[in-house]
């Protein structure tokens, strides 16, 4: 077996090297039968000794960074990063709970899995944070971990979505959108729109791209729209399918809808990213969108890129879901710090946008 030179052994052990040593070692290695394989092994070992892994770096940063004695420690468990809305929502938290304002933020991405969020909450409890902000991926299954937070005297603020628990004292309050009203608003808008187009009494065939099933946004928007649909016997819901709030999944589902039904009049998309996927599939099928086209799309979220499609007429109406919840969460934290009572449910302000509005001016002013 070929023996390693002493300088190489020292290099691997100490985790650094000099250019002369490298040149000499490479020349030496090339003389031997197993040069290529050996060089690869050397570089691998050197990388492992000298730099460490990304996870190691993160762990070191977490262990070295500690909150100051006067900092308000906030633990945030986010759903994931599945949409433009979600990333804007996360950025708002980062911009709001900053060190210069006296906060120490611990952020955990749930990656669309409830078990990850439960682990995150237990991590926050062990770290004895001052407040927990939970944006739950689904509504049920939170009783046990929220009880643990209550036992630890840590207030929990439910943000964006909702939780269903037997004891509502397990969380302090909920901040977010009125998803049920969003769904109703979309249904009422569609009724007026169809009436204005002389189609108020015509048969209307509808499909719905639902969000992640059992999420508060999906339940509210689906239920709210269905309540208005019950008032119109000529509206027929052909099928509901979940697009998981993602463009890619919605594209697949819309392809299926178009292959299955040849008379779709309306697509209800429960967020903008799914609307993007639906539009792509509809265009590829050779169909036209908008007021004078084959299919009209109604969406939710009203992100800037979607409003550009409203401007083009490809989305006829978009119902806002305001992602900037962080400032309202901060107001609640500050009230609790002062020992003040807070309302159990607090909604952010929202509106809607349609093809009749001056979208150019709105887009320019849009924060998200």
Q: Which residues of the chain have pLDDT under 70?
A: 1-64
- Beta strand 266-269 with 317-320: parallel, antiparallel or unpaired? unpaired
Q: What is the pLDDT of residue 50?
A: 34
Q: What is the pLDDT of residue 359?
A: 87
Q: Give the CATH superfamily of 179-321+352-365.
A: Response regulator (3.40.50.2300)
In whole angstroms, give the CA distance from residue 328 to residue 331: 5
Residues 321 and 294 sit within 8 Å (Cβ to Cβ): no
For 113-175, give the DSSP string.
-HHHHHHHHHHHHHTT-SEEEE--SSSSS-HHHHHHHHHTT--EEEEES----S-GGGSSEEE
In whole angstroms, give the CA distance from residue 17 to residue 32: 22
pLDDT of 95-114, one tens digit each?
A: 999 999 999 999 999 998 99
Closest CA to 302 of 357, 351, 249, 244: 351
In whole angstroms, give the CA distance from residue 307 to residue 320: 10
- The angle subtended at Cα 61 by Cα 94 and Cα 10, nearest 5°, is 150
pLDDT of 19-47, one tens digit each?
A: 334 344 444 444 444 444 444 333 333 33
Asked: is 70-177+323-337 a CATH 3.40.50.2300 domain? The reply is yes
In the chain, where are the structural domains located?
Answer: 6-60, 70-177+323-337, 179-321+352-365
Taking each helix axis from N to C end, the angle separating 6-14 and 19-30, rounded to the nearest 10 degrees, works out to 130
Q: What is the pLDDT of residue 291?
A: 85
Q: What is the pLDDT of residue 30?
A: 42
Q: What is the pLDDT of residue 46?
A: 35
Closest CA to 247 of 264, 266, 271: 271
Structure tokens at 78: 């986010």
Mean pLDDT, the chain, rounded, equals 85
pTM for this structure?
0.76
């Amino acid at each position: 077996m070929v023996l390693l030179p002493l300088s190489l052994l020292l290099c691997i052990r100490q985790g650094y090297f000099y250019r002369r040593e490298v040149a000499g070692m490479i020349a030496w290695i090339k003389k031997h039968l197993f040069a290529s394989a050996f060089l690869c092994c050397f570089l691998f070992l050197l990388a492992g000794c000298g730099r460490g892994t990304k996870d190691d770096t993160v762990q070191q940063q977490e262990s070295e960074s500690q909150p100051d004695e006067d900092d308000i420690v906030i633990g945030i468990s986010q759903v994931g990063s599945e949409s433009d809305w979600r990333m804007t929502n996360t950025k708002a938290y980062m911009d709001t709970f900053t060190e210069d304002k006296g906060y120490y933020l611990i952020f955990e991405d749930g990656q669309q899995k409830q078990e990850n969020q439960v682990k995150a909450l237990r991590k926050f409890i062990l770290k004895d944070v001052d407040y927990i902000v939970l944006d739950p991926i689904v509504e049920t299954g939170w009783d046990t971990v929220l009880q643990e937070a209550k036992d630890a005297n840590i207030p929990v603020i439910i943000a964006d979505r909702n939780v269903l628990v037997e004891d509502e004292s397990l969380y302090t309050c909920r901040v977010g959108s009125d998803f049920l009203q969003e769904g109703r608003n979309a249904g009422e808008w569609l009724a007026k729109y169809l009436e204005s187009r002389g189609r108020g009494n015509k048969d209307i065939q509808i499909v719905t791209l639902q969000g992640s099933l059992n999420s508060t946004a999906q339940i509210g928007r689906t239920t709210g729209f269905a309540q208005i649909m019950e008032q119109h016997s000529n509206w027929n819901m052909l099928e509901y399918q979940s697009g998981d709030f993602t463009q890619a999944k919605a594209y697949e589902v819309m392809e299926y809808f178009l292959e299955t039904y040849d008379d779709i009049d309306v697509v209800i998309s429960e967020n903008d990213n799914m609307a993007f996927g639906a539009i792509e599939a509809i265009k590829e099928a050779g169909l036209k969108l908008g007021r004078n086209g084959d299919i009209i799309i109604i969406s939710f979220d009203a992100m800037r890129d979607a409003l550009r499609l409203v401007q083009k007429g490809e989305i006829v109406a978009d119902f806002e879901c305001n992602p900037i919840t962080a400032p309202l969460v901060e107001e609640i934290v500050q009230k609790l710090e002062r020992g003040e009572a807070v309302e159990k449910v607090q909604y952010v302000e929202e509106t809607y946008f349609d093809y009749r509005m001056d979208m150019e001016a709105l887009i320019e002013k849009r924060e998200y």
